[in-house]
Amino acid sequence: MTTELIPVADGGRIWAERAGDGPPLVLLHGSVHDSRLWDRVFATLARHRTVVRYDARGHGRSTPPTGPFRYEDDLLAVLDRFDFRTAGLVGLSMGGEVALDFALEHPERVRSLTLIAASAGGHEWPRSPETDAYAAARRGSVGRRTAELELALWASLGDRAPGFEVIEPMVRENAEAGAAAEKGHALDPAEDAVGGLDRIGVPTVVAVGDHDHPEIRVIADRLADGIPGARLEVVVGADHYLPLRAPGRLLELLLRIPQTSLSEGILTS
């Protein structure tokens, strides 16, 4: 395994870790997470694939933004840094939204999509007191309150289910910084993804936990119905933190992704 800091726009640096050999997979985390989200699947994936996980701008060990930026541009920088001509993208929540937007913008760079508990640009969420309170905490970059609401809303299986020992510190450490990154500098993609789902032309799996927020299931159904050939997988015993709650089932899904030869995925000199 190797780690490095990848240069991105405005002097920023993205922390990334690479391991393994074979067709590349790139793992994208959610909005108050970092690359620890993949702790329970990363090493096993590396026995079968080239796998990269990274901390999004303003999260984990990556630098905070100092000016306007796009998560999609940072993902492109990661692919270019590792000489990936194409890669499978695996994204959870905000990471799934970024992966979907990227696939619409750069279809030639994407080999497959795995959208886990994904959000999607253009989907209108219904109002509720809980989601309104969560949005207000994030807008105000109120770290402690954001973390409390994140754990209550999205980690619904609580502290007795697998993975909570990773979930809680990860959320508390990223809640304020992640909200500030999005509020202050993150730019929206050029189009709403839900209007372009029929243009996705790569193998796609849409995964959602059976204990996730009900609206995430609505989005999952919308993605699976709208993306040609997409397969919906409902994972038993998982909430929004599916990679930490049900890593074995996720590994089964990821290792079934159609493979290409090494030369098709990674540029060689």
Q: What is the per-residue pLDDT for 184?
A: 55
Q: Tell me the whole-structure pTM to 2 decimals.
A: 0.92
| % of the chain beyond a pLDDT of 70 | 91
What is the crossing angle of helices 129-139 and 164-184, to 10°? 60
Q: What is the per-residue pLDDT for 70?
A: 92
Q: How confident is the model at residue 177 (pLDDT cuts 50, 70, 90)?
A: confident
Cα separation, 235 vs 117, in Å, equals 10
| 45-90 pLDDT tens trace | 999 999 999 999 999 999 998 888 999 999 999 999 999 999 999 9
Which tops the pLDDT comparison, 182 or 28?
A: 28
Backbone angles phi, psi at 215, to 5 degrees: -70, -25
String of DSSP letters for 157-206:
T-TTSTTHHHHHHHHHHHHHHHHHHHHHTBPPPSS-GGGGGGG--S-EEE
Burial of 229 (0-12, 13-18, 19+ CB in 10 A): exposed
CB 18 within 8 A of CB 1: yes
